[in-house]
A and B are shown apart, each in its own frame.
Chain A
Amino acid sequence: MWAWLFQRITAVLLFLCLALHLLLTHILNIGNLGYENVADRLAHASLTAVDIILLAAAIYHALNGLRMVLMDYWFGRRNLALGLNVFLWVFGLAAMGYGTWALWPWIS
């Protein structure tokens, strides 16, 4: 039940954060996206926060969606599903950690 619920919650979060991200980065700043331009945007704490939320919601939503597809075809049995869940959680947390490390200069 929680996976179903969080898939929807992260979907709504993604919709909002992604709309903001696409507008700011790819419409207003098209052609300008060098290191300095991106770093200047991340200097605003609110935009860094949006990026962190985007990262977490996107990783959860993507891996959960992947889980749904995989369980439809190959991982339907209970013990296989458990292994898949463990793998996806580890991968997701690792990806989140990696992304947070990449954003660390602007978080601190």
Chain B
Amino acid sequence: MSSKPRETANVGAGLWKGQGMWAWLLFRASGLLLVVYLFAHIVVTSMSHFGVTVDAAGNTTSWYDKLMEFFDSPVAVVLDLCLVGVVLYHALNGVRIILMDFGVGIKQHKIIFWICMAVTAACVAIFAYVAFYYLANEIGPWSSLAEVVS
């Protein structure tokens, strides 16, 4: 079997190194982090079942409420914000990859990467607004809309 010349490793935008490589590496790192978070989240949320008590007034509480109090502390809110950033980075770069699978945007991959980062930054800004508004005021900025949905 003859070895193929190096140029066939290109997809038309040049051999990926530099920015393309970092995008791939961050994509992989964020994915692994999210795998760990996913299974931790499943376990913790499913444990809301345990220790459920119903008091005299018919209110249901569980130790999950105490856990949620921890998640309302500033440390947890900021960590959650970082998590949202990681999720958004992974999702938007994933969209970029799916587009490239269809042949769209291969030559422009660097620009599209920066567009994805810009959208990530914009969405993180929205979540940061919600988070810091909540930390300052004990209630979210759009919590009144929650009534509309339920």
A12 proximity list for chain B (CB < 8 A): 98
Contact A62 B35 (CB under 8 A): yes
A59 to B146, CA, bound (A): 28
Q: How many residues of B contact A (CB 8 A)?
A: 43
Interface residues of B in 84-141 (CB under 8 A from A): 84, 87, 91, 94-95, 98, 101, 127, 130-131, 134, 138-140
B residues bordering A, Cβ < 8 Å? 28, 31-32, 34-35, 38-39, 42, 45-46, 48-49, 52, 59-62, 64-65, 68, 71-72, 80, 84, 87, 91, 94-95, 98, 101, 127, 130-131, 134, 138-140, 142-143, 145-146, 149-150
B60 proximity list for chain A (CB < 8 A): 35-36, 39
A residues bordering B, Cβ < 8 Å? 8, 11-12, 14-15, 18, 22, 24, 26-36, 38-41, 44, 55, 58-59, 62-63, 65-66, 69, 95, 98-99, 101-102, 105
B91 proximity list for chain A (CB < 8 A): 11, 14-15, 18
* Given A26-B80, A35-B65: A65 and B31 interface contact (C-beta under 8 Å): yes
A39 proximity list for chain B (CB < 8 A): 60
Contact A31 B65 (CB under 8 A): no
A36 to B35, CA, bound (A): 28
Chain B, Cβ-Cβ closest to A27? B130
Contact B42 A31 (CB under 8 A): no
B143 proximity list for chain A (CB < 8 A): 28-32
17 contacts between A and B (CB under 8 A): A8-B101, A11-B94, A12-B98, A26-B127, A27-B140, A28-B143, A30-B140, A30-B143, A31-B139, A34-B61, A35-B62, A35-B64, A36-B61, A39-B60, A69-B28, A102-B46, A105-B49
Contact B68 A28 (CB under 8 A): no
Contact B38 A62 (CB under 8 A): yes
A40 to B61, CA, bound (A): 13
The 9 closest A-B pairs by CB, nearest first: A102-B46, A30-B140, A28-B146, A34-B65, A62-B35, A35-B62, A65-B31, A33-B68, A30-B134
